[in-house]
Structure 1
Amino acid sequence: MYLKFIYFFYLCLIIDAKENHENENHLTHDESLLTKYKDNDETCSESCSSALNRDKIDSGIQQNELNTHTIDTNYEDMVLIEGGTFEMGSNDTRFRKDGENPIRNVTIQPFYLDKYAVSNEEFAKFIDSTGFLTDAEQFGNSFVFDQLLPDDKKHIHPDLRAVQAQWWVKLDKTTWDHPEGPESNIKDRMNHPVVHVSWRDAVAYCRYYKKRLPTEEEWERACRGGLRQRLYPWGNKINPNNTHRTNIWQGHFPTNNTMDDGYFGTCPVDKFPPNNYGLYNMVGNVWEWTSTAALKQSTTERIKKGGSFMCHFTYCYRYRCAARSYNTEDSTASNLGFRCAKSIE
């Protein structure tokens, strides 16, 4: 039995950046660029998804038997996020189809959130303790950003590429510990976020440590760090004082990354300054799963937040607190990870 999963990749969606509160009547550098790319943005909504097939593994969230015991939560690397009401979303109508509109007041209860995205090192401990097999391991493949492959392999597999996003290759034997195929490894990336993990993998990990995935509302509350309607966790300027605050794409996507922030792919989970809540890399680096369902008609999809190292101002401008996207629960890719939350007991 086969189930057709829709793997969504978005191109060319851009919003007008707002200047900070003190200079709200003046255009920022980001805003001045928007006019150039506005036409592309208006034509790239429905066309930016690609249909790909995967064999169904009909075993639910627990895709294989985990050890029956769980591990007590370690709060050392978690932050208490106070409950309360905040302004969620944005009023930029160009992102209406994403569902981030309009700005609305949302009230949440206090909860704990990991300071960092789950790293390769931490995920390896989970695998060693449980023998868990991820979706990518069971399917036998995952989606790799072709620019991460060796030069002699960047243009292979033309028949296994996403229709509307040709830089994605469905590569056999690609897993969390072999992120660019079987010849790759993570020995020098143990402090980088784990990738090629599905929503179901993330839920299994969280459950083992008596945690859970954050809701979209919790995630956005935490991302904003107490700031009201700012684009990023630190404010409205992408590089305040000419310093990089996140790992995104510089140059021309997808062929040239100038690496002004120091990284081509992922970076360590504790790189760059944290936000006001002490949370690291809430935007950029890797997309992060949430528990919130996207409520699509044909498939079960989950909201992801934060954007990734592949995001560029002219492509996937979703390294903003309000931004959102979604994938099927079994989706795995080079830029998709997670962090855990925990309710107050």
Structure 2
Amino acid sequence: MAARHDTELVPGGSLLQGSTDFYPEEQPVRQVEVGPLRVMRHTVTTTQFRRFVKDTGHVTVAEKSPDPADFPDADPADLVPGSLVFTPTAGPVPLDDWQRWWRWQPGADWRHPEGPGSNLDGRDKHPVIHVAHEDALAYAAWAGMRLPTEAEWEWAARGGLVGARYTWGEEFMPKGRVMANTWHGEFPWRNDIPKKHGMTTPVGSYAPNGYGLFDMAGNVWEWTSSPWSTSHAELPVASCCAPVAPSAPAAEGTRFVSKGGSHLCAPSYCHRYRPAARQGQEVHSTTGHLGFRCVADA
């Protein structure tokens, strides 16, 4: 039986999607109509995901060996289950190559966030990570919900603030207050706000937005159901009554939009803990800073 999830009713309305202030993929700003939604207050936690796995027997992408057909040039012996894990550098490095701080870790998955030897002790309320797009789809179906479209996610994240830079307003740290789990310090080697367990924080550790939704900025990136495009001009505006919501896993190499930024976003490297920010994530790529939340039509 699917677990019950705390949700908030987010009213429908007219979204001015995107921004002209930061990255080109956020442009052009366009108007999108969004219908009313029930939105999970938090990203799915490790406890909730464990219940789903116990109920369904689901095996995540990170727990399976990659298909040799998808990697014809790879040594089959190297195709082992695993995921991408963040590793701080010893000091300052050029920020033009993500492989300096991400490593492929055999054995890393949602149960073992840093790889063999790590576990979920103390992380019951942390967001589940190392989940691929099809894992999120499977959970959403089990919960009787779905993944949000990009426009729905951005509308919910704004919390009723039209055109605001952040989910809480215009200032990154109003009156010096830390508003989200993002990187504070010199990325990727010095984080001035250390975390107790890994890099994520328990859901709800920071103030909610105007719709009562937590962690719509930082902590983990969140999957959506929208295919990736390099700008908003590439895709037609979807009807609010017929959102894009795939029900089956996509092919290797396909990318979907993820939103919200993560604990690794820093102004010097990735100013993407904003509602308008977006990135494309390959469907089978799993990392230690990517999770999801679900929605349902209201």
TM-score above 0.5, yes or no: yes
Tell me if structure 2 keeps the 8 A contact 1:257–1:264: no
Q: CA RMSD in A?
A: 2.2
SS in 2 for 1:165: helix
Aligned residue number for residue 6 of structure 2: 77
**Structure 1, unaligned runs of 5 or more:** 1-69, 148-153, 156-161
| 1:308-332 CA distance string (max 9 Å, x none) | 0000000111001100001111110
TM norm structure 1:
0.71
- The CA deviation at 1:263 is 8.1
- The CA deviation at 1:87 is 1.2
- In the alignment, does 2:76 pair up with 1:143? no
Aligned residue number for residue 51 of structure 1: none
Give the partner amino acid of 2:122.
D
Q: Which among 256, 267, 284 is matched to residue 330 of structure 1?
A: 284
> In 1, distance between residues paired with 2:110 and 2:180?
22
- The CA deviation at 1:266 is 0.4
TM norm structure 2:
0.82
Aligned positions of 1:1-345 closer than 5 A: 71=2, 74=4, 77-92=6-21, 94-96=22-24, 99-139=25-65, 140-147=81-88, 164-259=98-193, 265-295=199-229, 299-344=253-298
Tell me if structure 2 keeps the 8 A contact 1:211–1:341: yes
- The CA deviation at 1:299 is 3.2
- The CA deviation at 1:164 is 4.2
> In 1, distance between residues paired with 2:83 and 2:146?
24
SS in 1 for 2:64: helix
| 1:225-272 CA distance string (max 9 Å, x none) | 000111111101111121111001111000110117888610011111
Tell me if structure 1 keeps the 8 A contact 2:108–2:116: yes
For the structure 1 residues 261 and 332, does the alpha-carbon distance in structure 2 shift closer, same or farther, using more than 3 Å as the test? closer
Tell me if structure 1 keeps the 8 A contact 2:195–2:201: no
Aligned residue number for residue 65 of structure 1: none
For the structure 1 residues 260 and 330, does the alpha-carbon distance in structure 2 shift closer, same or farther, using more than 3 Å as the test? closer
For the structure 1 residues 263 and 208, does the alpha-carbon distance in structure 2 shift closer, same or farther, using more than 3 Å as the test? closer
- The CA deviation at 1:112 is 1.0
For the structure 1 residues 252 and 318, does the alpha-carbon distance in structure 2 shift closer, same or farther, using more than 3 Å as the test? same
| 1:253-308 CA distance string (max 9 Å, x none) | 00110117888610011111100100001010000000000158993100000000
> In 2, distance between residues paired with 1:290 and 1:321?
13
Q: How many residue pairs get matched?
A: 258
For the structure 1 residues 310 and 263, does the alpha-carbon distance in structure 2 shift closer, same or farther, using more than 3 Å as the test? farther
